Amino acid sequence: MSLDVAAVRADFPVLARRARGGHPLVYLDSGATAQKPLAVLDAERDFYLRHNAAAHRGAHLLSEEATDAYEGARARVAAFIGADPGEIVFTRNATEAANLIAYSVGNAATSGPSGGRPAGPAAERLAVGPGDEILVTELEHHANLVPWQQLCLRAGARLRWFPVTAEGRVDLSGIGALVTERTKVVAVTGQSNVTGAMPPVAAIAAAAHAAGALAVVDGAQLVPHHSVSVRETGADLLFFSSHKMLGPTGIGVLWGRREVLEALPPFITGGSVIEVVRMEGSTFLPPPQRFEAGVPAAAQAVGLAAACDYLDAVGLDAIAEHERALTERALEALTAIPGVRVLGPLTTERRGGAVSFTVDGVHPHDVGQVLDELGIAVRTGHHCAWPLHRALGVQASTRASFYLYNTAEEVDALADGIRTAQKFFGAG
C-alpha cells in the first residue's frame, strides 16, 4: 500500500500558499492541528446550505435531514474506530471529553446515571471519593492530566503516576505497586504528542481491569494516524479531536463501552439529555444522548464524517507507513546534526510521527523563529506536556510532526533549517 502525496496535497489548498519571505509553506505542525481537505469543507458547507436545522429538535423536513446527517456522522465515526454508533459521544474537543469522564466519575458520588441518587455496586465502582486513586503517566498532555488533578482536589482523591524513561517512554516497572485496589481510573495516552512513544495500552488496560479500575486512553494523537479498533485497545473509554484528523475545529469524540457509558452519570446538562424535567429534579436519557446537551454541532459532525471518509479512502495503513518513513528520515537527519538531541525513541518502533528536539545553545523559540522565517511551521515550547519536559531535563523543545501530506523534501528542509539556526546563533 502506498500513498500518492502529490495527489493528496492537491486536496489541501492551504499547502500551496507561501509563508514568510515568500517561501513555500512547510507545515510540520499537524500534531497541533491538521489541515483540511476540500472534501471536509464542502461537506460542512453543503450541510449549512441545504439541511441546516436543529438536530433532534424538531419534526419538520429540515430538522429530519439535519438529524439524519448528524446521526449518520455518528455512525460514520463509529465505523472508523470499530465501535457501535451508540457508543459515540460528540464533545467539544478531546479536552472536554477528558473532563467529561473526570467530572462524571466525581458526580457518581451524588448522582445515579439516569439521575436521582446513586445506587448499586456499579455506581460504587465508578464513584471517586476520598482515599481513591487516579493513575496517569508523566508523559501526558495537560488535557489528560490537569482534569484528573482537579478531580482529585474536588473529591479528596490522590493522583499517582508512572514516571517517564530517559527515552521518553512510560516506565511501567512500578506497575505492581501503582495499580492497587484504591485505583479507580488509569488514564494513559495512546501516543505521546512530544516523544511519539506509544505505550502498551492494552497491557495497562488489563492491569487496570484486574484491579477493578476504569481504563481511559487519550487517543488524540493515536486515532488520526493509525487504524484503531477501540476494542483492541482494551480501553473502557477513549477520546480524540476532530481537528487533528482533518476534520473541523469545535468537535471531539468520546468513545465508551456501552456498559461503562450506561453507568456514568451526566456531566453537562440542559436540553436533549433529559427524559423528564420537573422543577424538583430531572431524569436522563441513555447514552449517547445523556452526554450531548444543547443543540449539537451538526455541521462539524458532518465535516468530521467527511474526514473519516477521506482518511479511509487514502488508507490508514498507508498513512501510518508514510509517516513512519518520514519519521525515520527525520530521526536519521536530526541525530546526525551535532548538538541536536531528540527527546523520544530513536527508532520508529512503537513510535508515532512527533519528533521533538533541542539544539544546544539555541533556545527552541529561536529555532522555531529561524524555521518560520524559512516557511517551516513547527511548534515550540512544552507542547502542553510540561511535566514530561521537566522529567527529561529540558525546559522546552521544538517539535516537528508529520501527516499524510508531508514529504521527504520537507523533512530535509527541516534539517537544513536547523543547521541554519545553528549558524545564525553561532552554535553547533
Ligand X SMILES: Cc1ncc(COP(=O)(O)O)c(C=O)c1O
Catalytic residues: 384
Best CA proximity match to 192, nearest among 158, 128, 242, 145? 145
Q: Does 370 bind other proteins (CB under 8 A)?
A: yes
Angle in degrees, 0-180, between the axes of helices 38-46 and 298-314, rounded to the nearest 10: 150
CA distances, 271 to each of 103, 106, 248, 294, 295 (Å): 19, 22, 24, 5, 8
Query: From the CB of 395, what's the least distance to other proteins, in Å?
Result: 5
Q: How many CA atoms lie within 13 A of 347 on its CB side?
A: 2
Q: Looking at residues 388 to 407 of the shown chain, list those that interact with other proteins (rule: CB under 8 A).
A: 389, 395-396
Strands 274-278 and 252-256 come out as unpaired
**Pick 263 or 355: Cβ nearer ligand X:** 355
Q: Does 18 bind other proteins (CB under 8 A)?
A: no
**Pick 96 or 323: Cβ nearer a copy of itself:** 96
| Binding letters toward other proteins, positions 51-70, x by CB under 8 A | -----x-xxx--xx--xx--
CA pair distance 370, 354, nearest whole angstrom: 20
Q: Does 366 bind other proteins (CB under 8 A)?
A: yes
Question: Of ligand X, a copy of itself, other proteins, none, which one sits near residue 212, judging by CB under 5 to 8 A according to partner kind?
Answer: none
Stretch that binds ligand X, among 8-16, 91-99, 298-306, 392-400 (CB under 6 A): 91-99
Question: Of a copy of itself, ligand X, other proteins, none, which one sits near residue 221, judging by CB under 5 to 8 A according to partner kind?
Answer: ligand X
Query: From the CB of 85, what's the least distance to a copy of itself, in Å?
Result: 20
Placement of cell 446538562 in the chain? 269
Tell me the residue type at 95: T
Q: Which of 93, 137, 165, 269 binds ligand X (CB under 6 A)?
A: 93
Q: Does 295 bind ligand X (CB under 6 A)?
A: yes
**Pick 142 or 209: Cβ nearer a copy of itself:** 142
∠ CA 259-74-122, nearest 5°, is 10
Q: Looking at residues 383 to 422 of the shown chain, list those that interact with ligand X (rule: CB under 6 A).
A: 384
Cα 80 to chain centroid distance, Å, stands at 15
Residue length of the chain: 428
Q: Does 386 bind other proteins (CB under 8 A)?
A: yes
Q: Looking at residues 326 to 355 of the shown chain, list those that interact with other proteins (rule: CB under 8 A).
A: none
Q: Does 21 bind other proteins (CB under 8 A)?
A: yes
Residues that bind ligand X (CB under 6 A): 93-95, 141, 143-144, 189, 193, 218, 220-221, 241, 243, 252, 271, 294-295, 384
- Catalog residues that contact other proteins under the rule CB under 8 A: 20-21, 56, 58-60, 63-64, 67-68, 274-276, 285, 363-366, 369-370, 373, 380-382, 386, 389, 395-396, 424-426
